[in-house]
């Protein structure tokens, strides 16, 4: 099962099985139940949407096969450019048809037309993440992994009448909810008024109350550890144009991500313009993540000792699992284990800023940032930093 397609009406089929309608429907039921690889689906970093194909052949089935192959070879370089730096574009690897077959996890037919000698379609192609990782690793090319935690998007609308507001029913918020992509490298979820109680009431509020003390309020929201940061995306209408300004709260840090002005295109509806506005913010988040998280397979190895807070020895298992999910970390060694802390040496293949960013993305927070930093995993209840530091400086257990 290495290639799936979705026929109109969302029927999934095995690519090679065109023999009997009953068999097609039976396999469709099985695949709908099983689902695709959770990392490779439409809207994910490993899937490329809207690939246009057009093939002519005396045999319509051959035309379809050639079109599917065409979509795969069009999609691969798009994916590789998405997860690598621009300076590596000229040396991105290619695949033979045989190797491509093992790299493609499946495809989805968004629309298609089949005539006696011609097949045209719009397809989504999904790739096996580990095959792509190995391909880049083998060729020594730096890559970026997608973020594991989403951003919380706070869409703020200012239409000039009553100032900037956050409203659950605003068109700007609805545009975010309707976006099919939902982020590529950085996934996101859309805030509700409930996320910002007690500042909100009746489904909306003015954000000035948040802006006055953002660090205090957002730190409380981020402490839930279900999001990596909070993005305030403010949209202002100026004549026919949209001006979108973006700020990011991550921990105690506020970053200005800049602004962009969009002018309506010819025959572009307001909904389409809003979708472009969402895309502009989403791309900005992806670009920021890409710059901070590029993973160089050939980077020089470094090491650092870190003290991790514990509430029980069982917490060590959760910490080790989280560390093992970070691609920049190549190895770890337990140096000392105490009742309230574990000292772990990490070997990593990136600079320290990238490692710090990756740790935060996996839910760690810095209690102190000394020469030997003290961290805790966000899902654990905060422990006293002073007590942890005291325990961590005792002699290692034999």
Report how far residue 105's alpha carbon sits from residue 47's, in angstroms, rounded to the nearest whole number.
Answer: 9
- The answer on 282 and 181 residing in a single domain is yes
Whether residue 185 contacts residue 144, with contact meaning beta carbons closer than 8 Å, is answered with yes
Q: What is the CATH number of the domain that holds 325?
A: 3.30.70
- The answer on 190 and 111 residing in a single domain is no
- The answer on 21 and 107 residing in a single domain is yes
Position 29 scores a pLDDT of 34
- The answer on 321 and 284 residing in a single domain is no
Residue 398 located in a structural domain: no
Residue 262 located in a structural domain: yes
Position 397 scores a pLDDT of 37
User: What b/e sequence results for 69-86 when a residue is b if at least 16 CB atoms lie within 10 Å of its CB, and e otherwise?
Assistant: bbbbeebbeebbebbbee
Residue 132 located in a structural domain: yes
- The answer on 156 and 135 residing in a single domain is no
Residue 125's pLDDT band, with cuts at 50, 70 and 90, is very high
Report how far residue 164's alpha carbon sits from residue 137's, in angstroms, rounded to the nearest whole number.
Answer: 47
- The answer on 290 and 315 residing in a single domain is no
Position 218 scores a pLDDT of 64
pLDDT tens digits, residue range 47-62? Answer: 998 899 999 999 989 9
Q: What is the CATH number of the domain that holds 160?
A: 3.40.50
Residue 94 lies in domain = 4-141
Query: What's the structural domain count of the chain?
Result: 3
Q: What is the mean pLDDT of residues 38-55?
A: 74
- Looking at 110, 141, 172, which one is the last position of a domain? 141
DSSP helix/strand/coil, 99: helix
- Looking at 73, 108, 141, which one is the last position of a domain? 141
Residue 363 located in a structural domain: yes
DSSP helix/strand/coil, 75: helix
- The answer on 52 and 81 residing in a single domain is yes
Residue 260 located in a structural domain: yes
Position 294 scores a pLDDT of 66
Q: Of 210, 362, 183, nearest to 288 (Cα)?
A: 183
Report how far residue 183's alpha carbon sits from residue 286's, in angstroms, rounded to the nearest whole number.
Answer: 8
Q: Of 149, 202, 219, 174, nearest to 210 (Cα)?
A: 219
Report how far residue 17's alpha carbon sits from residue 19's, in angstroms, rounded to the nearest whole number.
Answer: 6
Q: What is the mean pLDDT of residues 211-224?
A: 58
Would residue 395 be called left, alpha or beta, if left means φ above 0 and alpha means ψ between -120 and 50 degrees? beta
Residue 7's pLDDT band, with cuts at 50, 70 and 90, is very low
pLDDT of residue 239 exceeding 50, the answer is yes
Residue 397 located in a structural domain: no
pLDDT tens digits, residue range 165-200? Answer: 778 888 999 999 988 666 778 888 898 877 766 555
Lowest mean pLDDT, pick from 10-24, 37-51, 97-111, 127-141: 10-24
Position 95 scores a pLDDT of 92
Residue 319 located in a structural domain: yes
Q: Where does residue 125 rank: exposed (0-12), middle (13-18), buried (19+ CB within 10 A)?
A: buried
Position 77 scores a pLDDT of 94
Q: What is the mean pLDDT of residues 341-352?
A: 85
- The answer on 387 and 269 residing in a single domain is no
pLDDT of residue 76 exceeding 80, the answer is yes
Report how far residue 249's alpha carbon sits from residue 256's, in angstroms, rounded to the nearest whole number.
Answer: 9
Higher pLDDT, 105 or 301: 105
- The answer on 113 and 25 residing in a single domain is yes
Report how far residue 43's alpha carbon sits from residue 27's, in angstroms, rounded to the nearest whole number.
Answer: 24
Report how far residue 346's alpha carbon sits from residue 330's, in angstroms, rounded to the nearest whole number.
Answer: 8
- The answer on 181 and 129 residing in a single domain is no
- Looking at 107, 141, 175, which one is the last position of a domain? 141
- The answer on 322 and 284 residing in a single domain is no
- The answer on 124 and 27 residing in a single domain is yes
pLDDT tens digits, residue range 11-34? Answer: 333 333 333 333 333 333 333 333
Residue 198 located in a structural domain: yes
Position 11 scores a pLDDT of 32
Q: What is the mean pLDDT of residues 81-106?
A: 90
């Amino acid at each position: 099962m290495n290639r799936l397609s979705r026929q109109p009406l969302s029927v999934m089929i095995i690519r090679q099985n065109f023999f009997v309608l009953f068999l097609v429907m039976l396999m469709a039921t099985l695949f709908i139940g099983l689902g695709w690889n959770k990392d490779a689906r439409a809207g994910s970093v490993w899937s490329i949407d809207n690939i246009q194909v057009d093939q002519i052949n005396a045999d319509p089935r051959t035309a379809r096969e050639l079109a599917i192959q065409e979509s795969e070879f069009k999609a691969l370089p798009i994916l590789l450019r998405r997860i690598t730096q621009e300076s590596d574009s000229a040396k991105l690897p290619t695949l033979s048809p045989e190797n491509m077959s093992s790299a493609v996890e499946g495809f989805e037919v968004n629309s298609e037309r089949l005539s006696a000698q011609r097949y045209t379609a719009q397809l989504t192609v999904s790739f096996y993440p580990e095959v792509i990782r190995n391909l880049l690793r083998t060729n020594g090319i730096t890559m970026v992994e997608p973020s594991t935690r989403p951003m919380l998007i706070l869409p703020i609308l200012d239409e000039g009448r009553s100032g900037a507001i956050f409203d659950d029913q605003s068109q700007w918020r609805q545009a975010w909810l309707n976006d099919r992509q939902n982020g590529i490298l950085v996934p996101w979820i859309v805030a509700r008024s409930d996320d910002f109680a007690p500042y909100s009431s009746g489904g909306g509020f003015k954000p000035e109350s948040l802006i006055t003390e953002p660090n205090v309020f957002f730190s409380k929201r981020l402490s839930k550890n279900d999001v990596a940061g909070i993005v305030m995306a403010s949209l202002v209408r100026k004549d026919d144009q949209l001006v979108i300004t973006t700020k990011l709260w991550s921990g105690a840090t506020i970053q200005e991500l800049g602004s962009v002005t969009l002018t309506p295109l010819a025959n572009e509806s307001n909904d389409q313009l809003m979708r472009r506005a969402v895309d502009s913010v989403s791309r900005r988040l992806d670009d920021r993540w890409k710059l901070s998280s590029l993973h160089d397979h050939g980077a020089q190895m470094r090491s650092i000792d870190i003290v991790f807070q514990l509430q029980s020895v069982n917490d060590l298992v959760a910490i080790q699992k989280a560390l093992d999910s970070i691609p920049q970390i190549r190895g770890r060694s337990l140096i000392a284990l105490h009742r309230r802390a574990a000292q772990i040496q990490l070997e990593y293949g990136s600079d320290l800023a990238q490692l710090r960013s990756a740790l935060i993305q996996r839910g760690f927070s810095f209690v102190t940032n000394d020469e030997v930093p003290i961290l805790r995993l966000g899902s654990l209840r905060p422990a006293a930093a002073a007590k942890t530091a005291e325990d961590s400086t005792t002699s290692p257990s034999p």
